[in-house]
Amino acid sequence: MIGAQTPLKVSLVATAASIVLLVVVFELIRSRRLRERYALLWLLTGLVLVVLSAWRGGLNTIAGWFGVRGYPPAVLFAVGLLFVILVLLHYSTVISRLSDQNVVLAQRLALLEEVLTRGRADGRAVPLDRAGEPVAKRDARLEAEQLPRT
């Protein structure tokens, strides 16, 4: 017995939804609200869903491979869910890396603020040169070095 066929109406709706997903991703990239490197998984998801939605025979074959006999579009949902999980995993790693970088940046900022306020008792910032020496102290030292010695 051959398994159930994917209904044409389901294929059309799924194909339209997949194309809308691709259009939305391209619009987010175009408007610079989504970076290209982060959009790759979404684009791949949309393309796979378009292919599986439009190619009813392929979806039925893949459903047969996984033993889905009653309703082949369930495989389409499973594939979409798998890609969403991959995207979430990818974003979790990106967020973790950014969180670690924020900690390092906060520590560096605290060190720089300490260096800037160290020279003043009132806590106001002291201009520093590249070596971290207060500019006024450096200028006074340079002037003293240039004075003729008697």
- Please tell me the pTM assigned to this model: 0.60
Please give, one letter per residue, the 3-state secondary structure of 90-147.
HHHHHHHHHHHHHHHHHHHHHHHHHHHHHCCCCCCCCCECCCCCEHHHHHHHHHHHHC
Torsion of CA 77, 83, 85, 88, to 10 degrees: -140
Domain boundaries, the chain: 8-85
CB distance 2 to 33 below 8 Å: no
Using CA atoms, how far apart are residues 35 and 90, in angstroms rounded to an integer?
A: 14
Q: What is the pLDDT of residues 15-54, one digit of tens each?
A: 999 999 999 999 999 999 988 888 888 898 899 889 989 9
Q: Count other C-beta atoms under 10 Å from residue 72's C-beta.
A: 25
Residue with tokens 């970076």: 35
Q: Count other C-beta atoms under 10 Å from residue 93's C-beta.
A: 9
Per-residue pLDDT of the chain in tens (150 residues, 90 and over written 9): 455 777 889 889 999 999 999 999 999 999 999 888 888 888 988 998 899 899 888 888 888 898 988 888 888 889 889 988 988 998 899 999 999 999 999 999 988 888 777 756 565 666 667 676 666 676 677 777 776 666
